[in-house]
Structure formats: structure tokens, C-alpha cells
Structure 1
Amino acid sequence: MKTFILKWNQVSLVQRILVGIIAGIVLALSIPNATGITIFGSLFVSSLKAVAPVLVLLLVMSAISKHKKGHQTNMKTILALYGLSTFLAGLIAVIASFIFPVSLSLVTGVNDLTPPEGIVEVLKTVLFQVVDNPVNALMNANYIGILTWAILLGIVLRNANDSTKDMLSNFSDAVSQIVKWVISLAPLGIMGLVFDTITANGLSSLLTYGKLLLVLVGCMLFMALVINPLIVYINIRRNPYPLVFYCLKESGITAFFTRSSAANIPVNMRICEKLGLDKDTYSVSIPLGATINMAGAAVTISVLTLAAVHTVGIEVDFGTALILSILSAVAAAGASGVAGGSLLLIPLACSIFGIPNEIAIQVVGVGFIIGVLQDSFETALNSSSDLLFTATAEYSKKRKEGKEFMINI
């Protein structure tokens, strides 16, 4: 048994999740009355609910506290590009979700919701969640309150000594490790979730996941091949596609398979050196981008949140959709660097529509079912954009200064 477990852990998470999906389908079709299998899905979901609030608090607080003042780099331009791209990703995802609405097959609680009456009620809900007690926010998974406290504490702790920041970073790393342990159990959890979905709603319910995946991947490809090139062109006034394709090839492909922006940092740093970029800039922008430049995560959060909204029958007006675009961009900056990290932030976005945590976590479970491809495309977009915008900022600065520059690809 020990040998089997060791060999099983050596198999990639993607392959293990595929095994879990297949096992769930086979068990649901062969022994549909074995309801005890669903406990694996319930335990997996409960584990995610337990760790997600603490993860968001520590990750965002640590990232903001480590930002250094007075360092002369292209960081302002890079941060602006990061923010613009992430916001546009959320907006594109919202528009696509309205054009191609997707509803999900959730298990319980859908008919018990009281949707907000309009944008005023949504704003009121958001404001009260912002000023929530931090302990209460953590206990009740109020992600908006958690994010607010994380930002405020991170800003204050920028003046703290290095040992305090290191301790905060260590706690953040520790919780991230716990998340990795939980996600390593994803194959069993997903087996239970797939079994529960098929026995409750039939095999045809899996087709919904295919439609959802098409919307997600379509939005990410649109960002990578249309929106990002447009942003680059506006800044450097040259054909952006050689640089875009170079970044996708050199950074995106490795990120697709590692499924971790953090793991792809050394790859991006090496490429920046190869491009001859300023080390004082990319040594900061690449690690920071792995934390806050999350266009793919914004797409995931927006699409899956609106899938939940469509499922429970909530009508969304333009103002509320715009709030979701902004919130998904802000929430994406708190996405964990581990595989599936953005999925843990879906409850945050769902909360502005009055969707309870129990329903939101079921949507997170759906995200893990399609996460084999979703997270790979998401990470490829996120990590390649870190490299792309770091290079764009430097080339843009040279253009504005009237200096000649050559893109060394």
C-alpha cells in the first residue's frame, strides 16, 4: 500500500484529477445507490471552506507589506498595465457570460435564495461587508471584509521591520502548503462531486461543464490574442504579435504544464535577462506579477460567478456587472499561486449577489472538475502576461524618451 501511495503521488495532479472524473462517472453509472461515495466530495468542499478565508487574508497582506518605497523602476507603468489587463479580463468575461449564459447543476439550496433587488442593495451589501469585524469576516467567510482588512493591514505593515514581514510571509507560505495538501485530495473529492452530480441530475449535466469550459477558454484566448496585443501596440506603437507570441511560447507553454505562476517565476526571470531588460525592474515586477497580475483568474471568477447567478435566476443590470468586473480584478490579485487558487475566490464575488457560501463552494467544486484545462490556460495567460507587460513598459519608456530600441526575440 505504501508503495502504491508513493507512486500515486508521483503522478501529476492533472492526471489524478482525470482519474477522479472517470471514476466518478463509472461509479455513478454502475452503482448509483452507493450514496456513501458522496462523502468524499463533501469532505473536500468542507476543507476548502475552512482554509480559503485565512489564505486570502495572509496572501494579500503579505504581498502588499513587501512593496518597497522609493525604488526607481518602471513599476508604475507595469502596475498600470497589470491593473488594466486584469480589469479588462473581468469585463470581457462578464460580456461573454451575458452573450453565452451558462447554468450549472447544483445540488441543494438554489430555491432558497433572495436575490438583491438592484445595484443600490448590492452597494449597501458591499459597504456593510467592507466594515465587518475581521474575526467575524473570517468566521463567516465574508471575503470582501477579509480583502479590506488584508489591504489595510498590508499598507500599515509596509513600515514594519523585515522580521515581521518575513514572519507574515512564512505564515502565508504555511497556509499555501496546507492548500496544496487539500488540493492533493482533489481526485477523491472530485470523484464524489461527479458521482453526486450524475446521480442527482443525470449524465447530461456534464455537458454544461463543457459549455462552461468553452466560455472560460474562449475569454482567455481573446485576452491573449486580441486585448493584450492591443494594449502592447498602444504603448510601443509597433506590431505587438512577435512579442506576444514569443512570450506565449517561452513563458506560456511552461506555465500551462506547471499550472503555477510562482513556479514559472525563474522561467520569466531568465527570459527577461535574455531580452536585455532592466534587472532592477524585472526582479520586482515578475515576482509581484505572479501575485497580482491575474487576468486569467479574473476571467475564471467572473464567468463562474455569473454561472452561479444564472443558475439561481438573479437578474443582473449593467451597474452590478461593472462592479463584478472591478471586484473580480481586485479579488484576482489575491489569488493563490497554487493550482486552482482563483477558484477559492469565487465565494467573494458571489457574496455581492447574496449567494450564500454553501452554493458558492459548490461552484468552486465545479471549477475543480473542469480545472484540468481551465487552470492550465489561466496560468499560461497570467504568467506570460507578467513577462509581456514587463517588456512592454521598458520599450514604452524608451519610445517616449526618443530612444531606439530593438525587441531581442
Structure 2
Amino acid sequence: MTQNRKKMSLPAKMGIALVLGVIAGLIWQWAGWDAHVFKPFGDLFIRLIRMIVIPLVVSSLVAGAAGMDNLRKLGRVASKTLGYYLISTTIAVSLGLFFANIFNPGVGLTLDVSKEVVVKTAENPGIVQVLLNIVPINPLGACADGNLLQIIFISLFFGFALSTLGEKGKPLLRVFELTMDVMIKITHVVMLYAPFGVFALIAYTVGLHGLKVILPLAKVIVIMYAIAFIHVVIVYLPVLKFIAKYPIKSFFKEMREPLLVAFSTCSSGATLPVNMEAVQRMGVSKSTASFTIPLGNTINMDGAAIYLSLAAVFVAQVYGVSLGLSQQLTIILMGILASIGSIGVPAFLLVVITMVFTQVGLPMEGVALIAGIDRIIDMARTTVNILGDATAAVTIAGTEGEFKQQDLANATSQSA
């Protein structure tokens, strides 16, 4: 028992690493040293977890789809999940627009945007092409390119087909279940390095940007974090309490580790394995968790939706561009579509955001304004993304009657 008391939990280690990383970053910046010395150690952590993501997504989605009791349940869970994600993302992008118009973050702001920021301009392919691009021409190519939307499509298709085989398909289903278990074991090993990765990522961010970059754009940062908090309060908490009927304190207690990983890595993909484990500890069945979390990791980007709308209004105000009602409605639609296509890796949204800017006629130079603080905002953005995925999983499980009364009683007593 003494040894158990002395053993520090992983969330505690990552929390300490986060604080030490901030201190180290400030020291590095004050001394004028090159913060890039931390970058390889942080990149190693992200690469290790991204190494896990594709095999985990494939195995978990196939096992989740094929492991449902019947096709009727599978269709029910799928429709609930997609419906929840669509409503949640729409609310998120609308909140971003609403508060951006109230607080006017770009009004009166004068910044030097002469420094060129290299950003790959994203073409707007249109809705039909976006939908067609979900279907992979070459499934192996989709895996090699890391195209999660295509990987999810073929994995679900394969899982649906496997579920129709009944007993005949059970041996293959078992292979995918074992593969998922192996990938989770690998995740445990990788997470031993997590505190070092968190320290390096935060030290690099603070050492590179510091307060000099944060202070001129503090208003945007504060508004982003405030909207993220409001979204959690008015969407996630009521859903957990009244629909999932799951104790909120217990939920956040189990979510400590995924939240720390998300906040420090700024990668939804990196957080996927620990997020899946967290919801299963809460009582979500493996099949439901294996279906909702990987799917949400790609198409449920509430944090990204908030930021896209906030950034669009901010840049429009800085450049004196007037956004009418039709343009703001376009931002809502584009925000939903663009957030669906956002791959869960750091800074990818700087590419995606050009699609929104192009659609509503905003100058691409505006990306230079937000690039410097993207990492700081990405911390809130990614945290909201993975919190939304976990809330969806718990909610779907609650509506499917997966929580036993004894489990809920234990969760309530633990959170008290």
C-alpha cells in the first residue's frame, strides 16, 4: 500500500512536466538560446503516437462495426453519433461568430504583417468533390497518406460487411479485436515517454513565442478560450447530466490524462488511444468506444469550428472587410465542412482555414496575423475536440443503456 501511495499517476507527471516546460521555455527565451533544441524530443512523442493511430483506427472501427449485436443497433448508434456531431459542430461555429461579433477582436488592431508566412493555399473543391474524396481509390494508399476520412470509410464498410457473416466471420473479427488490444498495449509503453514529450513541446512553444507574441493578440486568445469554456458549459455538461445521466465530476476525473495529452500535444490523433481507454473506464462498451471515438476524431472538430469562425471575423475586422449575413452563414457552412476535413495534427488548420478565407473573400495575408499564436490557440482547440468526442461516446452509451446502475453508483461515489 505504501508503494501505491508513492507511485505518481501519469496525469500528475504530465502536469508537472507542463509547468516545468513553461519555466524552461521562459528561461530559454530570456537567455536568448535557441528553443529548437527541445523540438526533436517533442516531435518524437508525436511521431510515436501517430505511429499508433492508423492501425488503432482500422482495428477499432472494424471491430466496433462488426462487433455490434446486430445491424439495427449499428445503424442506431451510427445515426445518433453523426446527429450529435453535426449539432455540436453547428453550435460551436455559431458561438464563434456570435462572440466575435460582440467583442470585435480585430477592431483598432494594427500589426506588422510584412513578415511572410508560408502557408499552402487550400483549393475549395466543392461539396460534391469533398464527398467523393471520402471514398478511397486505393485503401492502402489512403493508409500510406494518412487520410483518416478515407480510412474510416473503408474500415466501416469492411466492418459492416464482416458483421453480416455472423458466426462465419467471428475468427476474423477476433483478429481485429486482438490487433486493437495489441495497439492499446503499445500505447501504454509509448505513454511512459509522455511527460518528457509534454515538457519538450511546451518548452519549445514558450521558448519560441514567449509573451512577445502572446500579448499583442491576447484579446483573440482570451476570446477563444472563453468561447471554448462556454461551449463546454452549455453543450457538453447538460448533455452529460440530462441525456447521458453520467456524473460530471467522475467524467472529468477520468478525462484528466486525455485532456493533458491534448493540451500539450495539440493533436487529436495523438490523444485518440488514451481517449478511447478513458471512456471505456467510465463504462462505455468497447464496440461503442471503438466506433464513436475514432469517427469523432476526424469529423467532430468543435474547437476547430469555433476557431475558424473567430479567425475569419478577426481578419475581416483587421483588414476592414465587411462580412454580411450571407457571408457569415457561409462561414458557418464552411466551418462545418472544413472542421470535418481537419486532420488531427498540429497546425493543419492553418492550411484548412485558407479555404474559408477564399470562400468569403478575405485576404490570405491575414493568415500571418494568426500564425504566431496558432499553437497557443491550438491547445484550447484540441482540448475541446477530444472532450467533444468523449462526451459523444458517453452520451451514446447512456442512451443505449450500457451503464449499469451499480456502475453509475460507483462513479457517483468516486466523484463525491
Contact 1:89 1:223 in 2 (8 A): yes
Residues 148-163 of structure 1 correspond to what in structure 2 (within 5 A)?
148-156=150-158, 159=162, 161-162=172-173
**Structure 1 pair 54/197, CA: closer, same or farther in 2 (3 Å)?**
same
Give 2:35's aligned residue. Answer: 37
Q: Tell me how large the CA RMSD over aligned residues is.
A: 5.1
Give 1:71's aligned residue. Answer: 69
Give 1:97's aligned residue. Answer: 96
Give 1:276's aligned residue. Answer: none
Residues 226-241 of structure 1 correspond to what in structure 2 (within 5 A)?
228=239, 241=242
Residues 368-407 of structure 1 correspond to what in structure 2 (within 5 A)?
369-370=379-380, 375=383, 382-394=389-401
Letter in 2 for 1:302: A
Secondary structure at the aligned position of 2:66 is classed as: coil
Q: Which moved more, 1:197-206 or 1:76-85?
A: 197-206
**Structure 1 pair 64/367, CA: closer, same or farther in 2 (3 Å)?**
same
Give 1:60's aligned residue. Answer: 57
**Structure 1 pair 10/299, CA: closer, same or farther in 2 (3 Å)?**
closer
**Structure 1 pair 92/39, CA: closer, same or farther in 2 (3 Å)?**
farther
Work out the CA distance in 1 between the residues paired with 2:341 and 2:42: 26
Secondary structure at the aligned position of 1:16 is classed as: helix
* Partner deviation per Cα, 1:368-391 (whole Å, 9 max, x = no partner): 6558xx73x665554454333333
Work out the CA distance in 2 between the residues paired with 1:295 and 1:218: 23
Contact 2:35 2:207 in 1 (8 A): yes
Work out the CA distance in 1 between the residues paired with 2:194 and 2:173: 31
Work out the CA distance in 1 between the residues paired with 2:11 and 2:288: 33
Contact 2:136 2:154 in 1 (8 A): no
Give 1:220's aligned residue. Answer: 232
Letter in 1 for 2:18: I
Work out the CA distance in 2 between the residues paired with 1:137 and 1:71: 29
Letter in 2 for 1:366: I
Contact 2:121 2:355 in 1 (8 A): yes
Secondary structure at the aligned position of 1:71 is classed as: coil
Work out the CA distance in 1 between the residues paired with 2:217 and 2:54: 35
Contact 1:248 1:380 in 2 (8 A): no
Deviation at 1:216, TM superposition (A): 1.6
Contact 1:328 1:349 in 2 (8 A): no
Give 2:263's aligned residue. Answer: none
**Structure 1 pair 201/78, CA: closer, same or farther in 2 (3 Å)?**
same
**Structure 1 pair 287/120, CA: closer, same or farther in 2 (3 Å)?**
closer
Residues 103-114 of structure 1 correspond to what in structure 2 (within 5 A)?
110=117, 114=121
Q: Report the TM-score, using the length of structure 2 for normalisation.
A: 0.61
Deviation at 1:224, TM superposition (A): 2.1
Q: How many residues align?
A: 345
Give 1:254's aligned residue. Answer: 253
**Structure 1 pair 387/47, CA: closer, same or farther in 2 (3 Å)?**
closer
Give 2:85's aligned residue. Answer: 86
Work out the CA distance in 2 between the residues paired with 1:131 and 1:296: 17
Deviation at 1:162, TM superposition (A): 3.7
Letter in 2 for 1:391: G
Contact 1:301 1:346 in 2 (8 A): no
Q: Report the TM-score, using the length of structure 1 for normalisation.
A: 0.62
Give 1:186's aligned residue. Answer: 198
Deviation at 1:61, TM superposition (A): 1.8
Secondary structure at the aligned position of 1:344 is classed as: coil
Letter in 2 for 1:389: I
**Structure 1 pair 123/23, CA: closer, same or farther in 2 (3 Å)?**
farther
The one of 303, 306, 311 aligned to 2:306: 303
Contact 1:41 1:189 in 2 (8 A): yes
The one of 180, 195, 206 aligned to 1:169: 180
Give 1:21's aligned residue. Answer: 22
Letter in 1 for 2:376: V
Deviation at 1:327, TM superposition (A): 5.7
Contact 1:78 1:389 in 2 (8 A): yes
Contact 1:86 1:293 in 2 (8 A): yes
Letter in 1 for 2:176: K
Work out the CA distance in 2 between the residues paired with 1:250 and 1:200: 37
Deviation at 1:148, TM superposition (A): 0.8
Give 1:338's aligned residue. Answer: none
* Partner deviation per Cα, 1:75-104 (whole Å, 9 max, x = no partner): 54333222211121211121122233478x
Residues 308-323 of structure 1 correspond to what in structure 2 (within 5 A)?
318-319=329-330, 321-323=332-334
Letter in 2 for 1:14: G
Work out the CA distance in 1 between the residues paired with 2:299 and 2:14: 20
**Structure 1 pair 326/181, CA: closer, same or farther in 2 (3 Å)?**
farther
* Partner deviation per Cα, 1:246-303 (whole Å, 9 max, x = no partner): 514364232342434333345432xx8xxxxxxxxx5643554444456995212323
**Structure 2: where are the runs of 5+ without partners?**
1-6, 163-168, 259-273, 357-363, 403-407
Work out the CA distance in 2 between the residues paired with 1:171 and 1:299: 30
Work out the CA distance in 2 between the residues paired with 1:361 and 1:133: 34
Name the % identity: 10
